[in-house]
Structure 1
Amino acid sequence: MLPIEAVIPDIISTLASDSRLVLQAEPGAGKSTLVPLRLLQAGLFGDKKIIMLEPRRVAAKSIAHYLAKQLGETVGERVGYQIRNEKRLSAKTRLEIVTEGVLTRRLQADPELVDVGLIIFDEFHERSIHADLALMLAYEVQQAYRDDLKLLVMSATIDTALLSRYLDDAPILTCSGKTYPVDVAYFGKPSQYLSDHVLRALQQVLRVQESGDILVFLPGQGEIVRCIEACKATLGEDIICLPLYGGLPLAEQEKVLSKQSAAVRRVIFATNIAETSLTIEGITGVIDSGLEKRLTYDVKSGLSRLDTVMISKASATQRAGRAGRLQPGYCLRLWQESAHNTLSDFQPEEITTTDLCSLALELSAWGITQYQDANWLSAPPERHFTVARQLNNALNLVDEQNKILTAGQMALALGVAPRLASMLLQSSTLQEQQIACLLAAMLSERDIQIQAENSDITRRLLALVEYSKDKKAATSAYRLHRATTEVVLTLAKSFAKKLGIVLNIERLSLTDIHNHTASLLLHAFVDRAAQKRAHGDNRYLLANGRGVTLREADTLQGEEYLVVCDVDGKNKDGLVYLACAVSQSLLLEQLASQLSEETHYQLDNKKEAILGRRRLCYQALILKEQNLSQIPACEFESCVKDILTSQGLGLLNWSAKSQAWLARAKWLGEHVDEFPCISEAHLIAQLDTWLLPYLSGVSTIKQLKQLDIFNLLQATLTWDQQQQLASQAPEFYITPSEKRVLIRYDEHQGPTVSVVLQEMFGQLESPMLAGGKVAVRFELLSPAKRPIQTTSDLGNFWRTSYFDVAKEMRGRYPKHRWPDKPLEEKPGRSIKPKSH
């Protein structure tokens, strides 16, 4: 008996009295297969249906077939399923297993769900964005229209307290689930190559587990392919290596779930698709790489990156549990035991890390237009939501207030991402519609080409046309993944059906493809128009300012403009996976309403002229640029202002006198509160008042440099302020011998006077500036005009260190005056007078 059987009575009685229930059942408890069946048999909901939400298509079909078999029926009778482009239902169906998008569409079409008595959310711990949305909408339906509607949220590992609080303190039931113990071991640090590490781990598990199949968890399809190649070359022929990942055709996934022969031992290499609701017969051993692929959205660039990251503790528990379904199992984890505690408890909710365009459009259709109006289980970053709204508005799916438009309703009915739905709706001619269907299908699935080195999407369209004529030849010529190609064509036909056309791509010509592809993609990816950078044929700049790169062998290299459909946002210059060349004329035509004209000026120092360039831009891209032969007189003033603001005041006629005046004024402003603060930054900020009014009639750099800057600077001060500057920060110091010496107002050392020492005889104390606040700093010079002493306190100098200086200088300069009583000496020449 499965462990869940013991709590079935509690589940039934709780749902009879409560509207909501949270069920936590460990892996292997049987919640996905037994709970819906027992609830169906209990007749708790009369003639109303039970809908069970499954996150994965293969799990939905597998569970439906299993439940129907338990009732002695075929699928489509009391138990049915509906997934994308496939359903098995009838008038007798009372239990429907559906995938997430199907439930959302049903809720949007019929918010009251009049024929539904219970919605079961299975494997809710995966926290997909679709499951979060479906629960939000179903909960609103229950509160607003259907207080008799029941909600059951089931999960193996999740924060049940969070869910209970969200569902108005819903009751929580728990159930253990490990029918057999699982021995968990750790297998040290990984090798440089994951495939080598997996192979060694596999050899160890085969020794420990002498029977049963082995499930190997890997992050993605690429790692699966490489590990299978490595293991096939080493393991015996009695062991079969099989892949299992989301991109695998559904029929091939289903084959993996059932064991064909007990005599054959299988090693199944899977992504986290095998982590939860899928029951794979015969598994007794698990090898867990501890890795998964996680899509992360970067709101700044508008790109998503696929990172390989460590799993959570909850995922590790789920994976290990797969080994104990049939008998005592063994799980080998490919990380150190000490590292296990560093794992996060749960993986981040998808809603917090992904692009929210589809979610925002669904909420708009539901009537939720503002971020704060949504009843979030886990709130996404508000900035992500805002950017999603803006893109949906740019695609003409919602208005400025985020209210859904007719096109938005039609886009949701197509069941594809908003970008691609908008592209499908934009297509008008039959050729456009057919190409749009193919593009939407290709961009919704994995790449049809195997290990493609070329990003040109038009080559893939041509490959599909050739494939429709001769599958074998096209598969070889274009290195197509045949199963994925079939999936793409099936999906394209479903889009065509929704558009009311028949997909007949055999007649599409290369001309049709080139004429329509760029225009369609530009509509969908308007923010991803790209322009080749000045240096390097494979480096491009996206309209949003982000850089991208083509592979070295990519045939699109050198194209001036691209529309980028798929790109890795991981690196600074993300690698382009799918793109299309686009002409400048198409960009100018299709983006006409969004173009901006900008005029830029810069100073050419060699020519001593201002050069102007007029640019036609689309966001960060410069589509057209031309030199201005002449700067209009009316724009010269603003041009000068821009240059002075960005490059400083060096363009003006700065004489030494002007620079000295500015240094004095700046220094005094820093030391006297009542004097205005004057600096280069201040002058730049005040250009409108002290400079620009005097540019009337000035239209060239030559004329600009003829302006008397000194007088303009002085004019910034009142008469009283000019007198204050002259007295408290004078231009010159008058020595005791009545010689005028320039005062340097040094930014770091203060007001400084450089003077021959003998000129200072008789100066008892250092003079004070700034109203008596700051002493002048003297740099006393030898007869050779070299500094011999620096002081801001002349009185102390004469009393102390002067005598040491004089003693040393007498030896060097015996013909010059170094008296013992300097304050009694006549100031002036340093050389001794000739004796008569």
Structure 2
Amino acid sequence: MNSRKLPVESSLPELKAALSSGRNAVLVAEPGAGKTTRVPLALLNEPWLSGRKIIMLEPRRLAARAAANHMAGMLGEKAGETVGYRVRMDTKAGPSTRIEVVTEGVLTRMLQSDPALEQAGLVIFDEFHERSLQADLGLALCLQSRALLREDLRLLVMSATLDAGPVSALIGDAPVVRSEGWVFPVQTVYRPRTSGQYLDHAVAEAITAAMNSHEGDVLVFLPGMAEIRAVERKLKAQLPPATDIRPLHGSLPSEAQDAALAPAPPGRRKVVLATSVAETSLTVEGVTVVIDSGLMRVSRFSPRTGMSRLETVPVSAASADQRRGRAGRLKPGTCYRLWSQEEQHRLTPRSSPEMMEADLAPLLLELTVWGVTDPLELDWLDAPPAAGIQQARELLVRLGALADHGAITPHGKEMAEHGLHPRLSHMLLRAIPLGLGGLACDLAVVLENREFVRSAPGSGAPSPDLRARLEALYGAADVNVDEGARRRMTQEAARLKREMGVKAEEQSDVEQCGLLLAFAYPDRIGRRRDNGKYLLSGGRGARFDENQPLAREEWVVAADLDDTGTDSRIRLAAPVSFEALSANFKDEMTAEPDIYWDAEAQAVRGRLRRRLGAIVLEEAPMTSPPADRMRAALLEGIRREGMDILPWSRAARQLQERIIFLRNYDSSWPDVTDGALNRSLSEWLTPYIDGCKSRSDLQRLNMKETLESTLTWEQRRELDSSAPTHWTVPSGSRLPIDYSDPESPVLAVRLQELFGLPSTPRIAGDKVALTLHLLSPAQRPVQVTRDLASFWSHTYFEVRKDLKGRYPKHYWPDDPLQAQPTRRAKPLGK
């Protein structure tokens, strides 16, 4: 074993004691402490392990391979003996393997096939601070497995920047062991980009400046493969010949990854252009300078649209510190940050857990196969969001993986066996009976490795036509591809074909890829609209960039959209024929009546529409729509148009106002305001609209009768006494009461007709005094009062003086209470 002592070794006795006396532990070890490679080897011969395996979950394939190879080398062995690894497309493990480093859902596969993990004594979750979806899922499944099946199974969570408290609580208040790191001093240089400066220009300039000022190799952090290629092109023209430029990302073949990690040959220097894969676990030999773009690429999933999109976002403060530490692994170093100190203060402390941002369909499928239909049954550090789970459940039901009640189907179990996204597994299983299994395997590999095509001929960007990507996989000479990635993808497709039992001689007709894509994305089948844009079967709008040949196709299937704006931009798609859709999507093509209110015609219309999701394939008028649907559509039309669409007479409106008035004083009266009537249309109007189809038909309604139907028999009897329509005044005139203001009903009456009336008339069982609008002989208001007695006593004499001057021929008595009321200028006999 390597004799070099690392900081974590001083914490090993405490860690061993914690795992010996308990079942769980949390190890927080700073970068450079050596936890990834020292801890598994140190625990290998612990008595409680009883000769069983240690399984260590790494969040990245590159780190898993590197860690296993390094530990094997420390034992003087090769990977696959005592220490091995299992990652997708690459396994080195045998009967004698005691430490297995796994990733990318391999732990989940192990648990699904052996829920008790009988051969394992310890599961280690390394770099848990990255909070990958697989790590969170693996820990939740291990906790349940131990609770139900394996009480003796031990769990160890390791991290560099983790807030240990919540994790410790989750796994049973496990002891927390801490270790210092081994990082040499690192000088930080802030070198913000100038306004408008492209990222590749800024990075290339920083690399040149760093190599001129410092010795050693340079590790550069960039958000993705496109940026790595752009910087690589610039560096080739300006770096000295004795410089090796080494890309480093998860899609590279293992030989290229090993070359990036290995020391530069004597007399040469190395510049490693890496994505976030180099943040943790890996030591890139020879690096003393880090140049950090401050950016990372993350996948954001929208439960609302069911789409994922890649976003380039600033790194978290924790990630920036991890990257900085890479410069001090071997000796003092320097970190150039391409942002300002002010921007540094604004960085978020930690990245959001992948659980909160990811497409949860794979997670939900795994859980359902495990036997859990409600994710909240498990213990999580952060529970899966409800919206994401709901969207995932809807997709899995649509793909036939789940029954409507949420149970796994036989098709769903088969989908879960292949470790692919459920969309791709479903596509493969549908393709094989059609003799398209080989093409489906190739297509699955292309969909999972979309950046291997660098550009199309004469263009700065790859074509969105998926057929061109497949042709590139098959070796088309006129497309600029990453040859290493293409070879690896060809090998992956071959492995997938063997796993699926696809015959090697099966032909691959790229023109069929649109149909296969429709199996994977039934919600993204698109039909061209009149404006050249597309309506997707899931209801979203979509479009191509200008001058794309695919934009002339009637039917397409979109595999990738940017999920922005009203019409998302289609980034990857293939054409499909309607004949192929008709033959293979019969069950999803529904014929249903569409009965609706036509606002322009002001009438109910009925059409029989044949649909594929939101896409209308054909439609025809309905001759005899169901009566209940007609009534419902008519009521919906009335709701939209408002209550004025109904034929309100003056008597009906007055009845409405009277009922509203009485409800102010007695809540047992119904609420017949326009808003309340609109909300309860189906309750009071339905019995009266049989046979009505339009606004003109509604004009036959008697609104007064329909409104009266809202009253009980007792209320109808009480109505006229409590809220009379008219009031007979002393002159004998029967005058209408205005209830338009329910707080203050009004009786408008000429002053002379009230002579002899001592007090204000009252209604609602004497609870409410009428508001009297006292009028002149010319019907003009001269006074408003609710206290007639006070008016006679005080105000009348002032009003009389004015009226006598303006209407001298009329009768204006000195004592109005003893005077005879009149509708004429003077009472009879005067």
TM-score range relative to shorter protein: 0.7 to 0.9
Distance 1:165 1:69, change over 3 A: same
- CA drift at 1:27: 0.5
**Pair 1:525 & 2:521 matched:** yes
Contact 2:760-2:789 within 8 A present in 1 as well: yes
Q: Which amino acid aligns with 1:524?
A: A
Distance 1:335 1:260, change over 3 A: closer
**Pair 1:396 & 2:406 matched:** no
Distance 1:324 1:801, change over 3 A: farther
**SS at the partner of 2:417?**
helix
- CA drift at 1:131: 1.8
In the alignment, the residues of structure 2 paired with residue 830 and residue 197 of structure 1 have an alpha-carbon distance, to the nearest angstrom, of 100
**Pair 1:823 & 2:816 matched:** yes
Contact 2:61-2:250 within 8 A present in 1 as well: no
**Pair 1:161 & 2:165 matched:** yes
**Pair 1:726 & 2:730 matched:** no
What's 1:492 paired with? 493
Alignment deviations for residues 786-815 of structure 1 (CA, whole Å, 9 cap, x no partner) = 65654444444556666776777888x577
**Pair 1:254 & 2:251 matched:** no
- CA drift at 1:127: 1.8
**SS at the partner of 2:367?**
helix
Q: Which amino acid aligns with 1:461?
A: R
Q: Which amino acid aligns with 1:551?
A: D
TM-score w.r.t. the length of structure 2 is 0.84
Of 317, 324, 330 in structure 2, the residue corresponding to residue 320 of structure 1 is 324
What's 2:131 paired with? 127
What's 1:217 paired with? 221
Contact 1:185-1:333 within 8 A present in 2 as well: yes
What's 1:656 paired with? 650
In the alignment, the residues of structure 2 paired with residue 719 and residue 13 of structure 1 have an alpha-carbon distance, to the nearest angstrom, of 84
Q: Tell me how many residue pairs correspond in the alignment.
A: 820
Contact 1:492-1:503 within 8 A present in 2 as well: no
In the alignment, the residues of structure 2 paired with residue 382 and residue 828 of structure 1 have an alpha-carbon distance, to the nearest angstrom, of 77
In the alignment, the residues of structure 1 paired with residue 245 and residue 750 of structure 2 have an alpha-carbon distance, to the nearest angstrom, of 95
In the alignment, the residues of structure 2 paired with residue 236 and residue 820 of structure 1 have an alpha-carbon distance, to the nearest angstrom, of 119
In the alignment, the residues of structure 1 paired with residue 625 and residue 155 of structure 2 have an alpha-carbon distance, to the nearest angstrom, of 71
Q: How does 1:623-772 map to 2 (within 5 A)?
A: 623-629=617-623, 637=631, 640-673=634-667, 675-680=669-674, 692-693=686-687, 704-714=698-708, 716-717=710-711, 721-747=715-741, 750-754=744-748, 765-772=759-766
What's 1:97 paired with? 101
**Pair 1:31 & 2:32 matched:** no
**Pair 1:577 & 2:571 matched:** yes
Q: How does 1:218-367 map to 2 (within 5 A)?
A: 218-225=222-229, 243-261=247-265, 263-334=267-338, 337=341, 343-367=347-371
Q: Which amino acid aligns with 1:84?
A: R
- CA drift at 1:416: 0.8
In the alignment, the residues of structure 2 paired with residue 632 and residue 20 of structure 1 have an alpha-carbon distance, to the nearest angstrom, of 65
- CA drift at 1:592: 4.2
In the alignment, the residues of structure 1 paired with residue 755 and residue 468 of structure 2 have an alpha-carbon distance, to the nearest angstrom, of 97
Contact 1:198-1:227 within 8 A present in 2 as well: no
Q: CA RMSD in A?
A: 4.3
Q: Which amino acid aligns with 1:7?
A: S
Q: Which amino acid aligns with 1:600?
A: I
In the alignment, the residues of structure 1 paired with residue 417 and residue 769 of structure 2 have an alpha-carbon distance, to the nearest angstrom, of 83
- CA drift at 1:426: 1.5
- CA drift at 1:417: 0.9
Of 527, 547, 557 in structure 1, the residue corresponding to residue 551 of structure 2 is 557
**SS at the partner of 2:441?**
helix
Contact 2:361-2:396 within 8 A present in 1 as well: yes
**Pair 1:460 & 2:466 matched:** yes
Q: Which amino acid aligns with 1:671?
A: Y
Contact 2:144-2:378 within 8 A present in 1 as well: no
- CA drift at 1:124: 2.1
In the alignment, the residues of structure 1 paired with residue 655 and residue 671 of structure 2 have an alpha-carbon distance, to the nearest angstrom, of 13
TM-score w.r.t. the length of structure 1 is 0.84
- CA drift at 1:103: 3.0
Distance 1:709 1:463, change over 3 A: closer
**Pair 1:597 & 2:592 matched:** yes
In the alignment, the residues of structure 2 paired with residue 644 and residue 48 of structure 1 have an alpha-carbon distance, to the nearest angstrom, of 73
- CA drift at 1:75: 3.8
In the alignment, the residues of structure 2 paired with residue 379 and residue 751 of structure 1 have an alpha-carbon distance, to the nearest angstrom, of 60
**Pair 1:425 & 2:429 matched:** yes
Distance 1:702 1:771, change over 3 A: same
**SS at the partner of 2:32?**
coil
Alignment deviations for residues 722-768 of structure 1 (CA, whole Å, 9 cap, x no partner) = 44322332223445544444333224763234456666666554422
Alignment deviations for residues 223-265 of structure 1 (CA, whole Å, 9 cap, x no partner) = 5555666777887777766543334454433332224246555
Of 477, 500, 511 in structure 2, the residue corresponding to residue 472 of structure 1 is 477
Contact 1:815-1:831 within 8 A present in 2 as well: no
In the alignment, the residues of structure 2 paired with residue 631 and residue 400 of structure 1 have an alpha-carbon distance, to the nearest angstrom, of 29
Q: Which amino acid aligns with 1:128?
A: S
Q: Which amino acid aligns with 1:728?
A: S
- CA drift at 1:139: 4.6
Q: How does 1:780-819 map to 2 (within 5 A)?
A: 780=774, 790-797=784-791
Unaligned runs of 5+ in 1: none
- CA drift at 1:28: 1.0
Moved more, 458-467 or 319-328: 458-467
Distance 1:499 1:200, change over 3 A: closer
Q: Aligned residues: percent identity? A: 37
Q: Which amino acid aligns with 2:493?
A: A
Alignment deviations for residues 590-636 of structure 1 (CA, whole Å, 9 cap, x no partner) = 45445362331325676x65432333445544444322346577865
Q: Which amino acid aligns with 1:260?
A: A
- CA drift at 1:26: 0.8
